[in-house]
Structure 1
Amino acid sequence: MKYKCLVLDHDNTTAATTPDIQYPAYVKSFQSCGLEPKLTEDAFIREEYKGLRHYLKIELRLDKDVLKRLEKAFYAYFEIHPARFYKGMEQIIRRHRTAGGYLCVVSQSPEKYIRRDYRENGLFEPDIIFGLELDEKKHKPSSYPLEAIMEHYTLEPKELLVVDDKLNGIEMARACGVQAALAGWGLAAPEIFNTLRENAGEALFLERVEELEHFLSEEKDESF
């Protein structure tokens, strides 16, 4: 086993959340609140990557009451629509767990939906999940989740691999001296794809799930 612990992001890294759930949820939540959903799917992906709260609060200037109603309608869609995993991710996760590895998730999605998605895709639930419920100050890029995982399992940084589609996950890994891989397979917007590639730094940039599988199957360079 190359790494004792895989630390995976969820949305658009393991699960195709934005095209399958988040964008339809955005459309339906806006419509249910009497608002016009003006973003195309590509535009939504760009805003989601930057942070939807900024778009809703700063650009649309929606008040707190409207934001609460939107959030309620948004997650009502999540309740009945599990996310499909990208082809190949199930095999990577299953192989790692079968070999006795730890699987942790660090995400800004609610924990209950992450657990539901793993079950619906025929997998055991992750060992540890740091989700939306975590104190905001401890969200990525804070090093807190990785530090907690290493302390819990008595692991060294070289024994973990972080896989994430956003730079905040890479910054979290960098702060702890942990190897990271940028997941490029869920990036539909070319400018986001190119920006990540240019700013990957020491992190691996993987365009396809198959590249992650290949990387995990290679012998580990113990000089890292």
Structure 2
Amino acid sequence: MLRFDCLVLDHDDTAVRSTPTIHYPSFSATLQQLRPGQSISLQRFAELCYDPGFEPLCSRVLAFTPEEMKIQEQNWLAAVRRTRAPFWPGMVPLLARYAAAGGHICVVSHSNEDTIRQDYAAAGAPAPELVFGWEQGPGRRKPSPWPLQQIMARWQLAPDQLLMVDDLKPGWEMARACGVPFAAAGWGVLCDAARRDLQARADWYLERVEQLEDLLYSRT
């Protein structure tokens, strides 16, 4: 018997391993294009994406102009189109078993819906029933509670019938605003500051994908 009727997943670094395989290489290439000779390690990139965040990293730390921000976005979109982010080992069979047991799978992410659906299809994972991506706009993106409110309304679910899984704080903020249980995807956390923060905030801090499967079915 399922413990949660609906599994709400973040995408990047929660379902798929995208920062080391797509986002960081794309960013590094853009940095060499716009700031020749300057480099940022993967670890430092993860730290800066956590605090102050990716947009402030570009606009404040690196002082990208609006024109340079457009170049960064174009380079990133090109990288996303040519490379499929791999799902974390064990995630696709976990989703298949969960869907077969009658669970609803939804995605709330800062990636685009088209990219998310293409990643799921390419991996042979069950298609998410609802996807709320970056295209929803500022007032409807996480950490706004709007995506979770829409999911609960779709199936008339109470907050405790959902489980939100994310590797960063915006997912936790959204879940907290709705009273939805939150599990931190520790397998995708790339910096110590985020790890400490999520360990302190999350209802469950999961180090491995297998622990998520245990949580979905366990009543203890």
| Normalised-by-shorter TM-score class | over 0.9
SS of the equivalent of 1:151 reads helix
Alignment of structure 1 residues 19-34 onto 2, 5 Å: 19-33=20-34
Moved over 3 A (4+): 31-37
Instruction: Verify the 8 A CA contact 2:31 2:39 in the aligned structure 1.
Output: no
1:46 aligned onto 2:50: no
Cα separation, 1, equivalents of 2:109 and 2:38: 26
**2:113 and 2:131 in contact (8 A); partners too:** yes
Residues 35, 130 of structure 1: CA spacing in aligned structure 2 closer, same or farther, 3 A cutoff? farther
The Cα shift of 1:34 comes to 6.0
Q: Is the 8 A contact 1:27 1:37 kept in 2?
A: no
| Structure 2 stretches lacking a partner, 5+ long | none
1-structure distance, mates of 2:193, 2:161: 32
Alpha-carbon RMSD across the aligned residues, in angstroms, is 1.5
* CA separation of 1:59 and 1:121: change in aligned 2, threshold 3 A: same
Contact 2:104–2:129 (8 Å) recurs in 1 = yes
The 2-side partners of 1:31 and 1:171 are apart by 34
> In structure 2, what residue type is equivalent to 1:99?
A
State the alpha-carbon separation in 2 of the partners of residues 30 and 72 from structure 1.
13
Structure-1 residue corresponding to 2:104: 102
TM-score by length of 2: 0.93
Residue 197 (str. 1) matches residue 194 (str. 2): no
Query: Aligned partners of 2:156 and 2:193: how far apart in 1?
Result: 39
Q: 1:35 to 1:137 in 2, by over 3 A?
A: farther
Conserved in 2, the CA contact under 8 Å of 1:32 and 1:73?
Answer: no
Distance 2:103 2:65 in 1: 45
The Cα of 1:40 is off from its aligned counterpart by 0.6
The residue identity in structure 2 corresponding to 1:162 is: M
Counterpart of 1:56 in structure 2 is 58
Q: 2-side partners of 1:191 and 1:46: how far apart?
A: 7
The 2-side partners of 1:138 and 1:38 are apart by: 34
Alignment deviations for residues 140-169 of structure 1 (CA, whole Å, 9 cap, x no partner): 121100101111122111211111111221
Instruction: Give yes or no for contact 1:12–1:18 (8 Å, CA) kept in 2.
Output: yes
More helix by share: 2
Deviations 1:148-192 (A, max 9, x none): 111112211121111111122112111111111111111232332
Give the SS at the match of 2:135. Answer: coil
CA contact (8 A) 1:28 1:74 kept: no
The alpha-carbon deviation at position 198 of structure 1 amounts to 2.5
Identical counterparts, % of pairs: 38
Q: Give me the whole-angstrom Cα distance separating, in 2, the residues matched to 1:98 and 1:38.
A: 46
Question: Does the CA-based 8 Å contact 2:168-2:194 persist in structure 1?
Answer: no
Question: Partner amino acid for 1:178?
Answer: V
Shift of 1:32: 4.1
Count of residue pairs brought into register by the alignment: 218
Checking the alignment, whether the CA contact within 8 Å between 1:25 and 1:75 is kept in structure 2 is no
User: Which secondary structure state, in structure 2, belongs to the residue aligned with residue 100 of structure 1?
Assistant: coil
User: Does the aligned pair in 2 maintain the 1:21–1:78 contact within 8 Å?
Assistant: yes
Equivalent runs, 1:83-102 vs 2, <5 Å: 83-102=85-104
Normalised to the residue count of structure 1, the TM-score between the two structures is 0.92
Q: Distance in 2 between matches of 1:161 and 1:114?
A: 19
Cα distance in structure 1, aligned partners of 2:50 and 2:15: 16
